[in-house]
Structure 1
Amino acid sequence: MNNVAQPMPHEPRSAIRVTWDVWSAMTLREFIARTTADRMAWFWMIFEPLATIGIMIFIRTYIRSSRHISGAEFIPWLIVGLMGFYLFRACMTQPIGAIDANKGLFTYRQISPVDPVLVRCWVEGALRSFIFLLFILIAALFKVDMSAYHAVGVLMDWLSLWALGSGLGVLFSVVAGLVPEVGRIIKMISFPLLILSGVIFPVTYFPHQAQEYMLYNPILHGLESMRMNYFQYYHSIQGIDMTYLWYWALSSMTLGLMMHIHFAPRLKMR
């Protein structure tokens, strides 16, 4: 009789476990690529908002002779708006190149084009969250009060902007994968969105008729809601509604995932 112990057969992994393993490996890969592939990566992520803040402080101090926003200090008000917008922009634009950057991985049947897109949305959001916390610490070192009036509300608004950017990022990753020119156009509209979302100029500065049209922009709702939760005495225009933002976030995410399922073979072969 053969008493040698026979090796136990490996149990097949569940679909959830396979997905978790794939996303974990890709997350580590994206973090390394995002932070070490370019020696200046961290510098640019921090320098861009710093430069914008410096320019706007100069303009308001030496040209407008004012650094006051009704209900809030200008520097914290600007930091909150910039960080929220950069979070949205990164989650919307960075996933556009995720499919091409990970094309070699599609030879593994466990990996589909939507995987690197979702992972990149998560990585960009995590990096922007870290940078926001870093800016709060830097502001505290310079005696700038960055304490939030309603921290839970700020967190929910931050996650809402993350969801909105990710939903549009998933959708645009498919569109740009099929028509590459669309990706360039999407990246070009970042600056107009910066103005129309009330990031550097208070939305109350715009004419009332223009404000009505600006309310169609879901980014504006997220940024103004976050500012109202951050600053106790800050008031925005009427019509700010986070439900409207979530309609955009969920609709774009749903449509994007459906398009990924439908066009997955074409995205792999492109």
Structure 2
Amino acid sequence: MAIEMSTSTERSSSDDKSGPKTRSTWAVTRSVWYAMFIREAIGRTMADRMGWFWMIAEPIALIGIMIFIRSFVLNDRLIVNAEFIPWLIVGLMGFHLVREGMMRGMGAINANQALFTYRQVQTSDPVMVRNFLEGMLRTFVFLLFIAGGLLLGIPLVPDDALYALFSWLSLWGLGLGLGLTLSVVATLVEELERIVKIISLPLLIISGVIFPINHLPHWLLEYLMWNPIPHGLELLRLGFFEGYHVVKGTSLLYLWFFILSLNALGLMLHIRFSHKLKAK
């Protein structure tokens, strides 16, 4: 008995000396992101039985309405070096990628308050996970539209696939930057979330999603091009339609200036107001 006790004591002491293996910070972050991604994916796709249906039906209905307005009400479907329906679909898909990244990121902190009791979870984690999930879903829906276009004879295959992919990822990054920044500001100032929701519809119009904004007067176009979204949409369309005439003033450098600035600002705000956001 004494031998067994001494042996067990030696084992326990040796175990204490070795101790449990500690994981790196990156390994912990990966685990947190993976767990949150599974949680968000289940809630986004399976909480509502009609979730997948509305993800596809909503853009189809919106495209149908826009085609009706432009074709039968305004009698205008002229787009230089691009067919109207594919031009409209590409614009809507790109705009919704930015908008949903912004809107869902904005509400991520309040929706995940219970998870902040775990010290491993940072306030920026749910925003980034939601944006990644939304981007994946929007990419899948866009691929379905491209496949459907091929079946229906609608030219939706990009002429420059690499450029179109880069522009798509750029819009994805813009949505992430907006989500990171607004998630902090809207959580601290709750009224701002309502204002952002209100301006999302006018943003659809002034971003060149429904009609080419280069038809507008030059003095007005200069102000509208301060908005980075038209830059991303025009570059995305340029990847899909060879020879497409982008709106004057479109700049990839200007777009990426906004992407990097908004992401940096959003991360700094999360670090600065982390304790206030967790205490909400």
TM range, smaller chain: over 0.9
Q: Once the 2 structures are TM-superposed, how far is the Cα of residue 119 of structure 1 from its aligned partner?
A: 0.7
**Counterparts of 2:31 and 2:176 in 1: how far apart (Å)?**
21
1:177 aligns with 2:213: no
Give the letter aligned to residue 111 of structure 1: V
Residues 95, 117 of structure 1: 8 Å contact kept: yes
* Distance in 2, Cα, partners of 1:187 & 1:179: 14
Pick from 216, 219, 222 the counterpart of residue 206 of structure 1. Answer: 216
Partner of 2:115: 105
Distance 1:184 1:26 in 2: 26
Aligned to 2:98: 88
CA offsets per residue over residues 74-132 of structure 1, 9 Å max, x none? 11100100000000001111011111111111111111211111111111111111111
Per the alignment, residue 227 of structure 2 pairs with 217
Q: Residue type of the partner of 2:132?
A: W
Partners of 2:40 and 2:130 within 8 A in 1:
yes
Q: Distance in 2 between matches of 1:135 and 1:74?
A: 15
Structure 2 regions of 5+ residues with no counterpart?
none
Q: How far apart, CA to CA, are the structure 2 residues paired with 1:233 and 1:259?
A: 41
| 1:233 has 2:243 as partner | yes
CA distance in 2 between counterparts of 1:177 and 1:244 reads 28
50-59 vs 5-14, which deviates more? 5-14
Q: Paired residue for 2:276, among 249, 266, 269? A: 266
Q: Return the TM-score normalized by structure 2.
A: 0.92
Give the deviation of 1:9 after TM superposition.
Answer: 3.9
Give the secondary-structure state (helix, strand or coil) at the position aligned to 1:10. coil
2:32 maps to 1:27: no
Structure 1 unaligned residues grouped into runs of 5+: none
Whether contact under 8 Å (2:214, 2:248) holds in the other structure is no
Structure whose CA Rg is larger: 2
Shift of residue 241 of structure 1? Answer: 0.5
Distance in 2 (CA, whole Å) between partners of 1:61 and 1:178 is: 44
Residue 47 of structure 1: aligned partner? 57
Quick check: 1:203–1:236 contact (8 Å CA) kept in 2?
A: no
2:94 is paired with a residue whose SS is helix
- The CA deviation string for residues 179-228 of structure 1, in whole angstroms up to 9 with x for no partner, is 11111111111111111110010122211221111111100000001111
Percent identity reads 53
CA contact (8 A) 1:95 1:173 kept: yes
Q: Following the alignment from structure 2 to structure 1, what is the Cα–Cα distance between the partners of residues 195 and 53? A: 26
Residue of structure 1 aligned with 2:260, choices 235, 240, 250: 250
Letter in 2 for 1:132: F
Match 1:193 to one of 203, 215, 218: 203
SS in 2 for 1:72: coil
**CA displacement at 1:66 relative to structure 2:** 4.3
SS in 1 for 2:28: helix
CA distance in 2, matches of 1:266, 1:104: 14
Deviation at 1:43, TM superposition (A): 2.0
Backbone CA RMSD of aligned residues:
1.6
Distance 1:175 1:17 in 2: 29
Q: Name the counterpart of 1:161.
A: 171
The amino acid of 1:124's aligned partner reads E
Indicate the residue corresponding to 1:134 in structure 2. 144
When normalised by structure 1's length, the TM-score is 0.95
Q: Distance in 2 between matches of 1:167 and 1:160?
A: 11
Indicate conservation of the 8 Å contact 1:96/1:172, yes or no. Answer: yes
